[in-house]
Structures are given as structure tokens and as C-alpha cells.
């Protein structure tokens, strides 16, 4: 890649990270081009579709998301590690409206950049399953907690973050603490059956269609 092309790519990604964080994933791409100081044609040449731009902007943050799950497994108390991970991920959402959305959508792996982002998501999910098993075995997590309950919480938290970012930016913390209390062992009231994983993935793909549409 020529030096000027690489500078444009770097500027576009930096602008995308900033604008997505401020306004979410549905921001017009011409705003990102303007913030990057390039023309729309240059943006589309470097990033032919929105999914590729989103993946490029958030791959590093998704790697941090995966690292957080691995770090939580090192906690001496499995339940505290579980709670620390949930709080950390929700805090990552609160500081970045775009990332709040990225955690609740999934992209088809059509190129190496998107594939890398989805690989980080998969790594985080595998460690999440281990966190759940350990927290249940230690007696801290209720027995009927389901892995996809985190997806529901992240979807709910993304909505709270988007609705309150300008007026009550810490409101998400109350939602998360309510959820963690509900997740704790000792809560024996029966819950409705969790949605099937395939159904949630379908919902995440449907959201992706919306966010990648021009």
C-alpha cells in the first residue's frame, strides 16, 4: 500500500472509532469521511462496505474483550471473576456506543478483518462458558443461568447506554448490579426458558443487516 493510501486508511479508522463511539454504528459514512479529511470515494475505496469499516475500527477492542474473559478466569474466587467480567464488559459498552452495538451483532466472515473480529468474539465466548461452569461449581452462580443470558444483558445494556449517554451516563451500572443480584445462587424462582442460541444469533444477524445498510 502506498504511503498516502496507508495514511488515508489510518485516518479513516481513527475517525470511525471516534464517530462510532459518539453516535453508534448507524452514523452516516460521509460524516466519518469528513472527520477523516478524505472524500467519500476514498473511504469507499479503502472500505467497500460498512461491515468492513466496523470490523477494522473495533478489532482491537474485541481483542480486549477476549482478553478480559481470559483474565477473569485467573480470579481466585470464580463467582467474583464472573461478576468482574460482566461489569468490565458492560463498562466497555458504556464508554463506546459503537462497541455497545458491536457486542450485540455478528458479521459474516467475508474477509480476514471481519474474520479476525469474529475469532476474538469466539475466543471470549469459549472462556465465558468456562467462567459459567466454574462459578456454578463454586456455588456462586444460580444453576439455571444460561450462557446466552449475557447476550440478553448486553442487548439491554446497549439500549440503556444509547438512551442515557447524554443525560445519565452512569445509569447502566444500576442495571448491571440488578442483573448480577438476579444471577446469584439462592434465587430459586423459576425463570422462563432462555431463547435458543440459534434464535439469538439470528437476532444478532438481523441487527447487522440494519447497521450495515447504507
Q: Which residue has the higher pLDDT, 202 or 73?
A: 73
Q: Where in the chain is the domain with CATH 1.10.10.60?
A: 1-48
Phi, psi for residue 22 in degrees, rounded to 5? -75, -40
Phi, psi for residue 111 in degrees, rounded to 5? -155, 165
- Tens digit of pLDDT for each residue in 6-60? 899 999 999 999 999 998 888 999 999 999 999 999 999 999 988 899 999 999 9
- Over residues 62-82, the mean pLDDT reads 96
Average pLDDT, the chain: 89
pLDDT band at 171 (very low <50, low <70, confident <90, very high): very high
92, 108, 8: which is closest to 58 by C-alpha? 92
Q: Where in the chain is the domain with CATH 1.10.357?
A: 55-212
Q: Look at residue 175 in the predicted model and tell me its pLDDT.
A: 95
CATH for 55-212 (3.40.720, 1.10.357, 1.20.120, 3.30.460): 1.10.357
Could you name the CATH architecture of 1-48?
Orthogonal Bundle (1.10)
Q: What would the grid cell of residue 113 be?
A: 478483518
61, 88, 60, 59: which is closest to 72 by C-alpha? 88
Which helix (H) or strand (E) segment is 166 a member of? none
Measured between alpha carbons, how far is 128 from 130 in angstroms, rounded to an integer?
A: 5
Residue 75 has pLDDT above 60, yes or no: yes
Instruction: Indicate left, alpha or beta for 40 from its phi (over 0: left) and psi (-120 to 50: alpha).
Output: alpha
Amino acid at each position: 500500500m502506498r504511503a498516502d493510501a496507508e495514511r488515508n486508511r489510518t485516518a479513516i479508522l481513527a475517525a470511525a472509532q471516534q464517530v462510532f463511539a459518539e453516535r453508534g454504528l448507524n452514523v452516516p459514512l460521509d460524516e466519518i469521511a469528513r472527520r477523516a479529511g478524505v472524500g467519500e470515494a476514498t473511504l469507499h475505496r479503502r472500505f467497500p462496505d460498512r461491515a468492513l469499516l466496523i470490523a477494522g475500527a473495533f478489532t482491537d477492542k474485541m481483542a480486549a474483550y477476549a482478553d478480559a474473559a481470559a483474565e477473569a478466569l485467573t480470579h481466585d474466587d470464580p463467582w467474583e471473576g464472573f461478576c468482574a467480567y460482566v461489569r468490565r464488559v458492560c463498562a466497555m459498552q458504556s464508554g463506546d456506543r459503537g462497541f455497545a452495538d458491536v457486542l450485540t451483532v455478528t458479521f459474516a466472515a467475508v474477509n480476514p478483518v471481519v474474520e479476525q473480529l469474529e475469532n476474538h468474539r469466539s475466543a471470549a465466548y469459549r472462556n465465558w462458558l468456562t467462567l459459567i461452569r466454574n462459578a456454578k461449581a463454586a456455588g456462586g452462580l444460580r444453576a439455571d443461568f444460561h450462557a446466552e443470558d449475557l447476550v440478553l444483558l448486553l442487548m439491554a445494556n446497549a439500549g440503556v447506554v444509547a438512551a442515557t449517554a447524554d443525560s445519565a451516563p452512569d445509569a447502566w451500572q444500576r442495571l448491571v448490579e440488578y442483573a448480577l443480584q438476579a444471577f446469584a445462587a439462592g434465587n430459586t424462582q423459576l425463570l422462563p426458558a432462555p431463547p435458543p442460541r440459534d434464535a439469538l444469533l439470528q437476532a444478532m444477524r438481523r441487527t447487522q443487516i440494519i447497521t450495515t445498510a447504507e
